[in-house]
């Protein structure tokens, strides 16, 4: 089980994390975790281009190293990128020194960026205290749930449309596991909000 909407008590526990971007404008911040990989990330880029949408890709460093051509296409399209560790580490199960080294390893294959998202959303307070000194720890306002095999594509879309609002940071995954649900929901989300006058912006990297 997980929460599609990041509720206020959860956000209050970690007030220094970025959960959403309060705004009076009709803007949504699409984010994608776990790429870049061939085919899936390329398909996402095609969808974003068709809707003139910008997004933020929280990249696994190992995938960037393995697929530099796909990563360059993300950057060439004008999207932002953030650090998602080199090996997709769960901070709750990783000692601090290893965690920090893995973030640094990821950063070596990325352009300068302050954006960091902990894999699984799991980071200890001691890790967050250090990481937050030099990086913006970005969580999410709306979790699509595209990664869950227990959810149908229709439910992923329904929940995403229900909870997304101006300033939402919306999380999808450009991964093989999420592909089925994400491929159904993403174009429909882009259509739905585009028809209602929303724009999709990338998060600032600096």
Q: Which residues are catalytic?
A: 33, 173
Token pair of 121 as six digits:
């959303």
Distance CA 192, CA 195 (A): 6
Closest CA to 172 of 28, 14, 12, 8: 28
In SS3 terms, the chain reads as: CCCCECCHHHHHHCCCCECECCCCCCEEEEEEECCCCCCHHHHHHHHHHHCCCCEEEEECHHHHHHCHHHHHHHHHCCCEEEECCCCCCCHHHCCHHHHHHHHHHHHCCCCCCCEECCHHHCCCHHHHHHHCCCCEEECCCEECCCCCCCCCHHHHHHHHHHHCCCCEEEEEECCCCCHHHHHHHHHHHHHHHHHCCCEECCCCCC
């Amino acid at each position: 089980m997980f929460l599609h909407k990041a509720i206020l008590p959860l956000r209050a526990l970690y007030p220094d994390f970025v959960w959403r971007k309060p705004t009076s404008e009709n803007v949504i911040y699409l984010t994608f975790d776990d790429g870049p990989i061939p085919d899936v990330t390329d398909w996402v880029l095609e969808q974003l281009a068709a809707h003139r949408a910008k997004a933020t890709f929280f990249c696994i460093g190992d995938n960037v190293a393995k697929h530099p051509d796909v990563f360059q296409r993300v950057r060439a399209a004008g999207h932002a990128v953030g650090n998602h560790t080199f090996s997709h580490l769960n901070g709750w199960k990783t000692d601090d020194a290893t965690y920090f080294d893995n973030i640094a390893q990821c950063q070596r294959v990325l352009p300068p960026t302050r954006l960091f998202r902990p894999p699984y959303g799991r980071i200890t307070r001691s890790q967050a205290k250090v990481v937050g000194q030099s990086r913006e720890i970005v969580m999410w306002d709306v979790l699509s749930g595209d990664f869950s095999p227990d959810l149908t594509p229709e439910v992923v879309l329904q929940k995403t449309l229900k909870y997304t609002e101006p300033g939402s940071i919306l999380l999808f995954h450009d991964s093989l596991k999420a592909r089925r649900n994400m491929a159904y929901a993403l174009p429909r989300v882009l259509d739905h909000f585009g028809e209602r006058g929303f724009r999709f912006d990338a998060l600032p990297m600096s």
